[in-house]
Chain A
């Protein structure tokens, strides 16, 4: 019953256009589906950290009970630790390894051209804390979670990212029933997992495929072939936004187009519910993604 959504601008020529506001409205319209946690990832935000040669290692750290942050975040604080690209990979790995052993830390992943925020609670809580409605960028994804198989905490909230490859984010509705098998195969290859949520396996799987072949279409095809269960997911990289459905089409996934005008850019929007497309006026060419296929938009 999770709610997912994504938006990609047809032309990213208006740096002042707030894509976060559109995502917020889409998420709010689907809030009835899920209330446990909310999160977004926006790409090419134009923030300073996007342009220099450094990465952010994003992670949650559990705040002391006395901290003022505990009420809004359930006791977790999102940290973006800047890591210069010049820092040796071994040192980066050591830092990640050290943090992953700390019970009070929950690692999210690396980012460079991506801004990822997530939190427990409703989308309005997320906006209150991170002001997501003001975020700008070329494309983005959003997620509303109702927990079915893993705990409700920020570490299990979507979007999922990885430390395998920077700037990959995934939101997912459904269940990867053979999650355990896929995760085991990826762990054998040496990839780390930081949550107990089945959706994380999508991000790591795609990162692995991209590292091997560099082809997002092929990565999705492989995932559809290997993954079992009912799922629809939206995946984003700095240059693409994809909507993917399982081979039986057991979870919804629809897409629509808004041609823009009056100073607003044209964009494609994708979501679980039609109401999310309606609310942002993406009423043209509305269609469901085909089962077992991926729809990919690139910039």
Chain B
């Protein structure tokens, strides 16, 4: 291999690491294009991966990391608000969510086996969300039935520990009535998938007694609406803020945010949790099952189940390591204050502080406006000041 070839391979690996997306053209074409295009245009082609622009702030000297071999890092989480009679306790903040990859029977069986092994062998209780019925009576893990487009469920059909209802945007009143009725009958946790952070939805859903909100980040950022083209982190940030606003002036009784969609590794789970998600809808296990199908004998479901089993064990270890390194003994104590970003756009969308400055972009602009007001001896009222800040934030390239 000559130096040129080595360089090409190295650059393609770097590109993959940077963008998270494998190249979709041949190396020869890429070189040809690179020679033709100018640098700025190439930069524009790169997909902006917000997740990679966020880092966790390591423990400070006064904040020694816990020794994970000595201390227990708590990952356990109870799903259900104070008034929920049959709460579901998960061993990790993960709900296996088959939202995107529709599981085939074989995949469902392999997943079922893996979740059962985890529950029996390791005492790891993971939730599984599916709109398919889990027929196997030997289920050892909590199953959250996902209901789409129905307006009634018979009590005799309550063969699940939790419910995930899809909010019906077209008929708000009908959905609210459905939720009210099912809340009276079903004593376990009810989560509601929503598409928007509109107070009208969230307040009424939580008022009725839903135990949490599910933000399907891929769906939300792809459909028409205010999040079209935005990133999952913006959705998580806004949903958490909306839930916090619901609790303004009162005790938080545990309504949770489940972020589903754009998660396929521990880093993203941790960052999403620090941003405000309580539980992550982890669709990747399904992908693992599918990916395993490419490499393993399709009929050997045991081998695929084992891959999922091992993957979850590894993920659990990683999830324990991160809060320990941040100085926590509890995974759920992470907050946005533990994050820093190298991207102005990320800071703008999530109020995460910028690396090295420890202030969010909004704070920097607000301080600049304050300084300008003092320097020029102006007396700008609060409303106008907010408008000026908003203008500077949205028109930062044009000024």
Contacts and interface: CB of A to CB of B under 8 A. Distances in A.
Interface of A: 1, 148-149, 175, 177-178, 180-181, 184-185, 188-190, 228-230, 247-248, 250
Given A149-B62, A185-B252, A229 B244 contact: no
Nearest to A178: B333
B60 A229 contact: no
Contacts of A180: 335-338
B335 A184 contact: yes
B294 interface: no
Given A228-B328, A228-B329, A229-B328, A188 B64 contact: no
Interface in B61-93: 61-64, 66, 71
B244 A177 contact: no
B252 A188 contact: yes
Contacts of A188: 244, 247-249, 252
Interface of B is mostly: loop
B330 A178 contact: yes
A80 to B, nearest CB: 30
The 9 closest A-B pairs by CB, nearest first: A178-B333, A180-B337, A148-B62, A177-B327, A180-B335, A181-B335, A228-B333, A190-B249, A228-B328
Nearest to B330: A228
Nearest to B333: A178
B150 to A, nearest CB: 34
A148 B60 CA distance: 9
Interface residues of B, number: 25
A107 to B, nearest CB: 20
B54 to A, nearest CB: 16
B118 interface: no
A250 B70 CA distance: 13
A190 B326 CA distance: 28
Given A148-B60, A188-B244, A175 B251 contact: no
B42 interface: no
B39 interface: no
Nearest to B62: A148
Contacts of A177: 63, 326-328, 333
Interface in B152-194: none
Most B CB contacts (10 A, CB to CB) among A148, A177, A247 go to A177
A270 to B, nearest CB: 22
14 contacts: A177-B63, A177-B327, A177-B328, A178-B333, A180-B335, A180-B337, A188-B247, A188-B248, A188-B252, A228-B327, A228-B329, A230-B64, A247-B329, A248-B66
Interface in B313-362: 326-330, 333-338
Contacts of B247: 188-189
A190 B252 CA distance: 12
Given A177-B328, A188-B247, A229 B335 contact: no
Given A148-B62, A228-B329, A229-B327, A190 B248 contact: yes
B396 interface: no
